[in-house]
Structure 1
Amino acid sequence: MKEVILIAIGSAIVNNVVLSQFLGLCPFFGVSKKVNTAAGMGMAVIFVITIASFITSVLDKFILQNFDLVYLRTIVFILVIAALVQFVEMFMKKSMPPLYNSLGIFLPLITTNCAVLGVALNNVQYGYGIGVSTINGLATAVGFTIAIVIMAGIREKIEYNDIPTPFKGSAIVLVTAGLMAIAFMGFSGVI
């Protein structure tokens, strides 16, 4: 149990998928303009990564490894992720139209979010079981959500600040992300 807790804390904070591994930067920068939109994207990513981690681990353990088809992992995992994103997109379009509209193109881009595929591949490469893979996926997605919501909060606060012209727009966002990454790297000695 102690090992699972360390994996969860490590995935969420110490080895944050965005700020330490630099995966999933497209939605991180694209959707982090407003806290509400960032939180919505975070919830969608939590659902997709957690369920994808579970399903890909089950498929890998019971089908791909048993039939010596491990070379198909990437293709199978991408298909699972694409199906889950389609489900999330249909659900949000039907039940939460304002959030669906505010996420725009970034919601379907979860399919190509390298963080989702990276977590699924890391789970099988590290030899995690189905339960640990699911917990790792959930913790990683929570870490993504923490990072994107913090970034959105910072971007809302600095929007009306007097920023020098060369740093306006994307430049200040990249500087902010770099400072956040440095701050999160401070947790690296914890685990």
Structure 2
Amino acid sequence: MIEHIELFFKSIFIDNMVFAVFLGMCSYLAVSKKVATAVGLGAAVIFVLAITVPLNWLLDQYLLQPGALSWLGDEYASYDLSFLSFIMFIATIATMVQLVEIVVEKFSPSLYNSLGIFLPLIAVNCAILGGSLFMQSREIETFGLALNYGVSSGIGWFLAILAIAAIREKIRYSAVPAPLRGLGITFIITGLMGIGFLSFGGMLTGGDEETEAPKTVQTIEIEKEQTEDAKTLAENTKTID
């Protein structure tokens, strides 16, 4: 349980796709001018990551890893299909994005029109592929952790684009210096938000086990004297006996 909670908060704040590794910056900058549009795209990213990361985990565990085909028989245990990882991951992502596009177009035409080309471009959003690749490189062990990582990574990306969209809506009425208007001030705000998100790392620092303070030279000498006194006392006791 603790492992799930730690992974959840770490993926949202500390290892945020936007602020920590700068993935998905194209959509983050282009679709963050209005909060409503940012919410729609962020929700779509959460859905795609929540589906593709666990599916790709299953593909990695039972198809792509060296020896993953052992469940088919001993003669397949030596097969290594890891070179197909990129192709399989991208195929899964493209399929899910196509499903999202169909659903959004059916139930929310206004959101579909406002997102425009950036909705189908989720398929090539590096944050989506990055979620599956990070899942693979970090060797996430269970399906539950893979689902947790997909959802929490999507939530982190959602919070990032929602926050910058809300700030950009308000900043229109601010007296921003001319050279910094547009992407200039957006990058500055993104950097400041990144620092703020990384500060949540203090939530996950362990403090349960007390660490032993380093011994000074004086402390070592005192311990030696106590040891010698104990030995002398033991020798004197034996002599008296």
Corresponding letter in the other structure for 1:113: N
In the TM superposition, what is the alpha-carbon distance from 1:188 to its structure 2 partner? 2.3
TM-score (norm. length: structure 1): 0.96
Partners in 2 of 1:69 and 1:189 — Cα distance? 40
Aligned equivalent of 1:173: 186
Counterpart amino acid of 2:33? K
Letter in 2 for 1:52: T
What residue is the counterpart of 1:47 in the other structure? 47
**Where in structure 1 do 4 or more consecutive aligned residues deviate above 6 Å?**
none
Match of 1:155 among 140, 160, 168: 168
Distance 2:84 2:144 in 1: 22
Pairing 1:74–2:86 present: yes
SS of residue paired to 1:111: helix
Q: CA deviation at 1:59?
A: 1.2
Structural mapping, 1:33-44, within 5 Å: 33-44=33-44
Q: Pick one of 117, 126, 135 that aligns with 1:105.
A: 117
Identity %: 44
Residue 36 of structure 2: SS of its match in structure 1?
helix
Partner of 2:137: 125
CA distance in structure 1 between the partners assigned to 2:121 and 2:192 by the alignment: 26
Larger radius of gyration: 2
Other structure's SS at 1:120 match: helix
Gaps (5+ residues) in structure 2?
Answer: 70-79, 205-241
Aligned to 2:232: none
Q: What is the CA–CA distance in structure 1 between the aligned matches of 2:2 and 2:197, rounded to whole Å? A: 22
TM-score by length of 2: 0.77
C-alpha distance after superposition, 1:126-171 (max 9, x if no partner): 1212211110010010011111101100000001211111011111
d(CA) in 1 for partners of 2:150, 2:173: 36
**Shift of the alpha carbon at 1:70?**
1.2
* Paired position in structure 1 for 2:196: 183
Q: 1:137 aligns with which of 144, 150, 162?
A: 150
Q: Name the aligned partner's letter for residue 125 of structure 1.
A: S
Measured in 2, the distance between the counterparts of 1:85 and 1:118 equals 15
Q: Which amino acid aligns with 1:130?
A: F
Q: Which residue of 1 aligns with 2:28?
A: 28
CA RMSD of aligned residues (A): 1.0
1:15 aligns with 2:28: no
Q: Give the match for residue 100 of structure 2.
A: 88
Question: What is the number of equivalent residue pairs in this alignment?
Answer: 191
The AA in structure 2 aligned to 1:27 is S
* Letter aligned with residue 157 of structure 2: F
Q: Which runs of 5+ in 1 are unaligned?
A: none
Give the Cα separation in 1 of the matches to 2:20 and 2:5.
19
Q: CA deviation at 1:183?
A: 1.3
